[in-house]
């Protein structure tokens, strides 16, 4: 080792080269801050459903933290050994729940004797609920008031047979208790945002395909529909009204919140609109233009506008905004240059440079084009380094480092209906491979 180090020093000193620091301090600090922000919002990409359920059930049965941790260790052992141990953990707590329930029942009966008049309206309200639901029909989740770029919709399928198997065979719960706990379950943010599916979640290839984990038929498969709404001035008022209108019976809809930043939302939007584009077909330039204008001008119905135009041009007359003339959409210089930048960001990984409405640009060429047109000066960027300019342009396009929230609405209606329909059925026999918890 010593000889190798001495040889390296001797050879390097024969032809020494000065070390040149090319990155500015501001650029390094920005990258460090961006990395910290990403680490802050990082989620578990493959959460274990069984452990999540164990923690939820432990809290529901008022288990101490030490008992929950012990139950997690027991659940990871072979089923034949952990069933009895899990039952022993749950039995004392079940006794305490029955004891508490008896106290609450006695207290309720004594209160009812003194306040019998106040109890009647409660029964009247409970009877009025189902009739109102029947009169109003099935609730339809209407998202038409939101502009399309603020909504992201996803679906996840869950195998109820796999979940029931975890509760009854691996955790040792009674069938009725397991069904009650499954009914209470709502997916946390880590499972909602997980890009990869793990048991009991899966991707349905066809309507009647069996479960890929246990082979159960499609009647044991339930759908969870998830809608993510990007927070902001344009959506907050409409979102609050929507949340108030959601039915409260059996928690059919679950509302979740996630803290994020403007750059996080912008890059996720960029990835969403870029998915599935055919870069050999020039029509993608027009499609990306429609998406970007829908994001910057959400009050305009751009689907209708783009049905009336056949070209997008840079206006020499407008100082801001846009106009349609003779089937052509004219954009103000700043808005048009921002659209060029979005086109570059979407297509720069395809070939050398990125394809835009003005042709293909490398980063240096795009930098010179934007500087010559006065766009960099208009947005307050005075650097002479194209890479630094691109980083500042991204901060400008995304809205800076300000925070925002993502609001999730999880539709559990199909999940609850399937669970109710399968209440009296015995789950199918599990495959041998499913004996190991995934």
Q: What is the pLDDT of residues 357-382, one digit of tens each?
A: 999 999 999 999 999 999 999 999 99
Q: What is the pLDDT of residues 52-78, one digit of tens each?
A: 555 544 444 444 555 555 555 555 555
Strands 328-331 and 311-314, how do they pair?
parallel
Residue 355 in contact with residue 279, Cβ under 8 Å?
yes
The Cα diameter of the chain in Å comes to 101
Asked whether the predicted pLDDT for residue 19 surpasses 70, the reply is no
**Please, what sign has the CA dihedral across residues 193, 196, 198, 201?**
positive
Asked whether the predicted pLDDT for residue 416 surpasses 70, the reply is yes
Q: Is 402 helix (H, G, I), strand (E, B) or coil?
A: coil
Quote the tokens at residue 227.
């809608």
Enumerate long-range contacts of 130-139, CB under 8 Å, 24 or more apart.
133/247, 133/249, 139/246, 139/247, 139/252
Q: What is the pLDDT of residues 197-233, one digit of tens each?
A: 888 888 887 778 888 888 888 889 999 999 999 998 8
CB atoms within 10 A of CB 260: 18
Per-residue confidence band for 405, with pLDDT thresholds at 50, 70 and 90: very high
Alpha-carbon span 18 to 1, nearest angstrom:
25
pLDDT > 90 fraction of the chain, expressed in percent and rounded: 34
Mean pLDDT of the region 235-241: 92
Per-residue confidence band for 96, with pLDDT thresholds at 50, 70 and 90: very low
Per-residue confidence band for 122, with pLDDT thresholds at 50, 70 and 90: very low
Q: What pLDDT score does 313 carry?
A: 94
Per-residue confidence band for 3, with pLDDT thresholds at 50, 70 and 90: confident
The structural domains of the chain, with segments of one domain joined by +, span 148-261+406-435, 266-398
Q: What pLDDT score does 407 carry?
A: 95
Would you give the DSSP letter of residue 166?
I
Tell me what the pLDDT averaged over the chain comes to: 77
Asked whether the predicted pLDDT for residue 318 surpasses 50, the reply is yes
């Amino acid at each position: 080792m010593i000889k190798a180090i001495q040889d390296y020093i001797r050879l390097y000193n024969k032809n020494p080269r000065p070390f040149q620091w090319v990155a500015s301090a501001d650029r390094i600090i920005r990258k460090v801050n961006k990395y910290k922000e990403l680490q802050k919002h990082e989620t578990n990409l493959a959460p274990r459903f069984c452990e999540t359920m164990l923690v939820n059930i432990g809290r529901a049965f008022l288990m101490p933290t030490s008992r929950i941790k012990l139950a997690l260790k027991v659940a990871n052992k072979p089923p034949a050994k952990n069933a009895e141990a899990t039952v022993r953990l749950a039995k004392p707590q079940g006794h305490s729940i029955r004891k508490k329930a008896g106290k609450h029942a006695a207290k309720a009966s004594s209160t009812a004797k003194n306040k019998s008049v106040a109890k009647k309206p409660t029964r009247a309200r409970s009877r009025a609920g189902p009739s109102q639901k029947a009169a109003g029909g099935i609730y339809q989740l209407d998202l038409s008031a939101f502009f399309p770029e603020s909504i992201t919709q996803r679906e996840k399928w869950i195998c109820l047979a796999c979940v029931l198997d975890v509760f009854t065979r691996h955790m040792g719960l009674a069938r009725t208790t397991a069904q009650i706990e499954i009914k209470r379950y709502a997916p946390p943010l880590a499972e909602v945002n997980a890009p990869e599916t793990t048991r009991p979640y899966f991707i349905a290839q066809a309507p009647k395909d069996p479960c890929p984990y246990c082979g159960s038929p499609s009647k044991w498969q339930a759908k969870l529909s998830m809608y993510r709404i990007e927070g902001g001035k344009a959506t907050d008022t409409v979102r609050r009204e929507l949340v108030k209108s959601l039915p409260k019976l059996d928690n059919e809809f679950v509302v979740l919140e996630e803290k994020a930043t403007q750059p996080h939302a912008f890059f996720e939007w960029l990835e969403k609109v870029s998915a599935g584009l055919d870069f050999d077909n020039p029509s993608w330039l027009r499609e990306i233009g429609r998406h970007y204008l829908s994001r910057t001008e959400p009050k305009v119905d751009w689907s209708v506008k783009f049905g009336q135009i056949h070209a997008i041009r840079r206006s020499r007359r407008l100082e801001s905004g846009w106009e349609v003339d003779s089937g052509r959409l004219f954009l103000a210089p700043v808005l048009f240059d921002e659209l060029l930048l979005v086109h570059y960001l979407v297509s720069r990984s395809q070939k050398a440079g990125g394809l835009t409405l003005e042709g293909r640009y490398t980063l240096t060429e795009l930098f010179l084009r934007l500087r010559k047109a006065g766009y960099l000066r208009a947005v307050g960027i005075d650097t002479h380094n194209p890479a630094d300019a691109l980083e500042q342009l991204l901060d400008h396009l995304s809205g800076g480092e300000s925070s925002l929230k993502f609001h999730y609405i999880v539709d559990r209606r199909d999940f609850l209906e399937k669970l109710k329909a399968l209440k009296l059925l015995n789950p199918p026999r599990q495959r041998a491979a499913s004996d190991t918890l995934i």
